[in-house]
Amino acid sequence: MPAKLCVNIDHVGTVRNARGEGEPDPVHAAALCENAGAVGITAHLREDRRHIIDRDLPLLKEVVKGLFNLEMACTNEMVRIAMNLRPDQVTLVPEKRAEVTTEGGLDVRRNMKVVRAATRKMLGAKIAVSHFIDPDEKQVDAAAESGATHVEFHTGAYARLFDRQNARAMEELGRLRAACLQAHALGLIVNAGHGLNYRNVVPIATLPHMNELNIGHAIIGRAIFCGLDRAVSDMVRLLRHAR
C-alpha cells in the first residue's frame, strides 16, 4: 500500500496573516487538497498563532472529510483546545517561539510525565495521539510506553542532507528504517514528515510500514507556480508509484 498524503496547510495561513485579512483561506485550501487526492489535512496551532488561528479549527473540523490531524505543543492550553475540538488525531510536537519551523523531535523520554498525561487524556476522548520524534531507539520506546498510537518520524535531517551529502542522507535513511521497524514491532503506526519534497520523498515513502506523510512547504511552494490541485496530485502520483 502506498504511503498516504496529509497536506500541512500552515503556509496558506502564513500568507493570509501577512495581510491580516481573510485570504487565502486555509479552510478553502483544505477542501482543494482533499479533492486533489490528499487523505487528510494537518494544521499546527502554534502558541503565537503565526499561521493557523483559532477561528480555523472548527471550520477545518467541519470541512475536512478525511483525517484531520492537529499538531500542537504539549501544553495545558493546547490540550484543552484539542479536547473541545476533537480532531481525529493530535500530533504532539516541541515548540519554541523563536524557531522558523519545528526544529527537532519531541523529547518524550525527558518529559514522560507530562506527555503521558496529555496522551492518556486525549485517548480517553477517542483522539488518536502521535508523537513527533527523532528516529531514536530510546524515543520510540518512550512513545510506546506513554501510550501513543502513532509516531511521526522527523525527516528534517535526512531532507537537509539529501541534495548536498547523499552518503550521509543514506545513513540517516538507515536510522529511519530501523526506527520504523522498531515502532511497528511495538504496535505503533508509523508516519513521517518535515522537509520532504518532490525529489527526496520516495525513499521515505518506501520505508517499511510507512503509513502517512505530512508535507507542507514543498506542496504549498509548488502551488504558487502551478496551482494547489496540481501540486497535490503530483505528490499523490509520486507516492502511488513509489517502489
* Dihedral, 229, 232, 235, 136 alpha carbons, nearest 10: 170
Check residue 217 for interaction with ligand PXP (CB under 6 A).
yes
Whole-angstrom distance, CA of residue 86 vs CA of residue 69: 10
Q: Which of 44, 51, 131, 150 is catalytic?
A: 44
Minimum distance from residue 4 beta carbon to ligand PXP (Å): 14
User: What is the C-alpha separation between 37 and 58, in angstroms, rounded?
Assistant: 22
Angle at which helix 76-85 crosses helix 112-124, to 10 degrees, equals 10
Instruction: Give yes or no for residue 200 binding ligand PXP (CB under 6 A).
Output: no
Strand partners, 79: none
Is there binding between residue 131 and ligand PXP (CB under 6 A)? no
Comparison of 91 and 149: residue with beta carbon closer to ligand PXP: 91
What is residue 24's DSSP assignment? S
Q: Is 102 a residue that touches ligand PXP (CB under 6 A)?
A: yes
Which listed residue (4, 16, 44, 46) binds ligand PXP by CB under 6 A?
Answer: 44
Calpha distance 122→126 (Å, rounded)? 7
Residue 94 touching ligand PXP (CB under 6 A): no
Tell me which residues touch ligand PXP (CB under 6 A): 8, 10, 44, 71, 91, 93, 101-102, 132, 152, 193-196, 214-218
